[in-house]
Chains A and B, each alone.
Chain A
């Protein structure tokens, strides 16, 4: 009798485990607050939408539920380590993020120590993946982006003098300013670079400086919170120079700030609405039925490039999990370099450093009447 009971119990245990779906955890290392909170949230939207679209993945013949584990790195390099440690202790198989290179670099070592691979979504600073084997990324890099912008400013806008402004101590801003300066000076232009301290709200004097230097373009690859201030203050000062920005400015929040003004805003970015109609349609439908997602997207259903990138990052992670055939993070790390897929933002493959092989960027500008982003051109640098 006891034997029968034991067998029955053992069977129940086995079946219950089989019936209960296995879960694989993907860490989302993104800022949900701070200066980059708005951008981080939009990047997360892409992952959340992808997770809703494909909530399970087959790893080694077993169907797993995918659980997104969130950690808010607060857009700040001193909060990033504890957020990274949270993800490590949650036992995630792979990490996605972060929006912002500085926080990615700050969290990087904790993932390396735990043997967890990370997939950078829109962190464009070369230092994120340089000199390590666990950080990968699916977007283009700053030397490339800086060169594209410098070329555009010099050749298309005919600019001779560029005024560059970045946040003090922000790896992303300062990196891009350097690459832009190198490329722009190589093209025969003059560059004036200045930096502002964190939490600055008053940019009027910097804008005056640009006007005094008779700058032809104002290059500010800064966070959304700062760029909205710059755009609006430029409008009230009647600034005549166009504002040039990087992928961080690609947000409907910035477009709204420029709506109804005369300020020209031109940026480089990863994705332009319309490149994948299927994704656009599904994503918009999801935003429109989910009120919270709509709020996190800035209150309308315009698609930010970072959302498309978040979407692609999620599928890259799923491909890596499939290729690894295990939820073990070390196995996923080993499988990642060989992962290739065609995402909505283009083909994704990694080079030996762990960077995406990409050679083109979208350039777009704000339509001041409608407050929408408009496609200008797709720029390729050989």
Chain B
């Protein structure tokens, strides 16, 4: 039984960790700006494309990785300054439309540069190596992802709870205008949020594309959507919620893909039921159920509207 379930669990934990890193970006931006940054998944894809082109142009890999992370963070910063900051006082819907615009701009820019051809992600040594654990063969990156994700989340939580900028972030997310009156430099806080969010998306892209090595302009769509679902699932605005939500979704979708064979080996069914087809449908159905039972998500705070 264990040997049947384990490979799916492994895939699930790995992809869940990658969703988690993307989901943090959604949830942090939402927590502070009440904005759903639809371009986040595309920033993740652009990070992958930058890596492909940088490695192809002959930059050594050890230099590529920090450069890609830096550039991705820079892109997040620029997007916020260009597309969201001018709309700070506009209705929230305008900023959201602007986010959709950024998303399409990035996708079409990449379509133009790559000509729509799928790009093969460079092989990063060591983490691309195959390993066998408990009888399941996989890439090293699959094993590393959950640990790296947890380490980054712990670091992020420390940053938010124990530093000055973290305190400012918490204040801004609590009450935008009051914190401005208290002398917090709002724009700096928001920029920092975007830089952290996109930096984590950059890390996620390194891990994700090392595992699934093809990058095209729509590569960010599905992981972005799943991460968004994870953020809502865990309670949007909550970082631990996003991480837990991401792991649940990653594991659930992979278990569903293998559920036929698991049930078959356990002797519960006699033939395939064709459940694998419903892996995504199940993920989203789960979301609907959670939201129907607990509208604020797993870890979401109860919103009290101030008069």
Q: Is the CB of B212 within 8 A of A41?
A: no
**Which A residues are CB-close (under 8 A) to B11?**
202, 204-205, 208
**Which B residues are CB-close (under 8 A) to A64?**
none
The interface centre, meaning the residue of A33, A200, A224, A295 with most chain B CB atoms within 10 A of its CB, is A33
**Which B residues are CB-close (under 8 A) to A41?**
115-117
- How distant is B58 from chain A, measured CB to nearest CB, in Å? 15
Q: Is the CB of B260 within 8 A of A256?
A: no
- How distant is B10 from chain A, measured CB to nearest CB, in Å? 8
Closest to B254 in A: A205
Say whether, besides A208-B7, A208-B8, A225-B216, A199 and B118 are in contact (CB < 8 Å). Answer: no
A-B contact count (CB 8 A): 115
Q: Which of A219-253 contact B (CB under 8 A)?
A: 224-225, 228-229, 232-233, 235-238, 253
How many B residues touch A, CB cutoff 8 Å? 42
A209 within 8 A of B: yes
**Which A residues are CB-close (under 8 A) to B276?**
194-196, 205-206, 209
Q: Is the CB of A199 within 8 A of B137?
A: no
Say whether, besides A37-B116, A213-B261, A233 and B8 are in contact (CB < 8 Å). Answer: no
**Which B residues are CB-close (under 8 A) to A212?**
4, 258, 261, 265
Q: Which of B2-38 contact A (CB under 8 A)?
A: 4, 7-8, 11, 15
A168 within 8 A of B: yes
The interface centre, meaning the residue of B214, B219, B254 with most chain A CB atoms within 10 A of its CB, is B214
- How distant is A199 from chain B, measured CB to nearest CB, in Å? 4
**Which A residues are CB-close (under 8 A) to B116?**
31-34, 37-38, 41
State which of A38, A194, A208 has its C-beta within 8 Å of the C-beta of B117. A38
Closest to B130 in A: A236
**Which B residues are CB-close (under 8 A) to A213?**
261
How many A residues touch B, CB cutoff 8 Å? 43
**Which A residues are CB-close (under 8 A) to B85?**
none
Q: Which of B76-131 contact A (CB under 8 A)?
A: 111, 115-118, 120, 128, 130
A329 within 8 A of B: no
B304 within 8 A of A: no
**Which B residues are CB-close (under 8 A) to A195?**
276-277
**Which B residues are CB-close (under 8 A) to A217?**
none
Q: Is the CB of B214 within 8 A of A225?
A: yes
- How distant is B236 from chain A, measured CB to nearest CB, in Å? 23
**Which B residues are CB-close (under 8 A) to A200?**
222
The interface centre, meaning the residue of B118, B223, B257, B279 with most chain A CB atoms within 10 A of its CB, is B118
**Which A residues are CB-close (under 8 A) to B7?**
204-205, 208
Q: Is the CB of A37 within 8 A of B117?
A: yes
| B214-253 near A? 1/0 per residue, CB < 8 Å | 1011110111000000000000000000000000000000
**Which B residues are CB-close (under 8 A) to A257?**
120, 213
- How distant is B215 from chain A, measured CB to nearest CB, in Å? 9
Q: Is the CB of A206 within 8 A of B120?
A: no
CA distance A199 to B265 in the complex (A): 29
Say whether, besides A195-B277, A232-B213, A233-B212, A253 and B118 are in contact (CB < 8 Å). Answer: yes
CA distance A35 to B115 in the complex (A): 12
- How distant is A212 from chain B, measured CB to nearest CB, in Å? 4
CA distance A282 to B148 in the complex (A): 52
CA distance A164 to B264 in the complex (A): 18
| A183-205 near B? 1/0 per residue, CB < 8 Å | 00000000011111101111111
- How distant is B165 from chain A, measured CB to nearest CB, in Å? 35
A126 within 8 A of B: no
CA distance A32 to B139 in the complex (A): 32
Q: Is the CB of A201 within 8 A of B258?
A: no
Q: Is the CB of A229 within 8 A of B138?
A: no
CA distance A197 to B274 in the complex (A): 13
A325 within 8 A of B: no
| A30-53 near B? 1/0 per residue, CB < 8 Å | 011111011001000000000000
Q: Is the CB of A228 within 8 A of B137?
A: no
State which of A201, A203, A237, A253 has its C-beta within 8 Å of the C-beta of B138. A237
Say whether, besides A194-B276, A225-B216, A236-B130, A33 and B111 are in contact (CB < 8 Å). Answer: yes
Closest to B141 in A: A236
Q: Which of A147-204 contact B (CB under 8 A)?
A: 168, 192-197, 199-204
A298 within 8 A of B: yes
B295 within 8 A of A: no
CA distance A209 to B257 in the complex (A): 8
- How distant is B131 from chain A, measured CB to nearest CB, in Å? 9
**Which B residues are CB-close (under 8 A) to A256?**
120
A101 within 8 A of B: no
CA distance A79 to B212 in the complex (A): 27
State which of A193, A201, A229 has its C-beta within 8 Å of the C-beta of B222. A201
**Which B residues are CB-close (under 8 A) to A264?**
none
CA distance A363 to B272 in the complex (A): 31
CA distance A229 to B223 in the complex (A): 15
| B29-60 near A? 1/0 per residue, CB < 8 Å | 00000000000000000000000000000000
Q: Is the CB of A209 within 8 A of B261?
A: yes
Binding site for A on B (CB under 8 A): 4, 7-8, 11, 15, 111, 115-118, 120, 128, 130, 132, 136-139, 208, 211-214, 216-219, 221-223, 254, 257-258, 260-261, 265, 272, 274, 276-277, 279-280
Q: A193-B274, A295-B115 are in contact. List 11 more A-B contacts (CB 8 A).
A: A37-B115, A194-B274, A194-B276, A195-B276, A197-B279, A201-B208, A201-B222, A208-B136, A236-B137, A256-B120, A298-B117
**Shortest beta-carbon contacts, A-B, top 10:** A33-B116, A37-B116, A205-B257, A201-B212, A238-B137, A199-B222, A212-B261, A208-B7, A194-B276, A204-B11
- Could you name 29 residue pairs across A and B whose Cβ atoms are closer than 8 Å? A35-B216, A38-B117, A38-B118, A196-B276, A201-B214, A201-B219, A202-B212, A202-B254, A203-B212, A204-B11, A204-B138, A204-B254, A205-B257, A206-B257, A208-B7, A209-B276, A212-B265, A224-B118, A225-B214, A228-B118, A228-B213, A229-B212, A235-B130, A236-B130, A236-B137, A237-B130, A253-B118, A257-B120, A295-B115
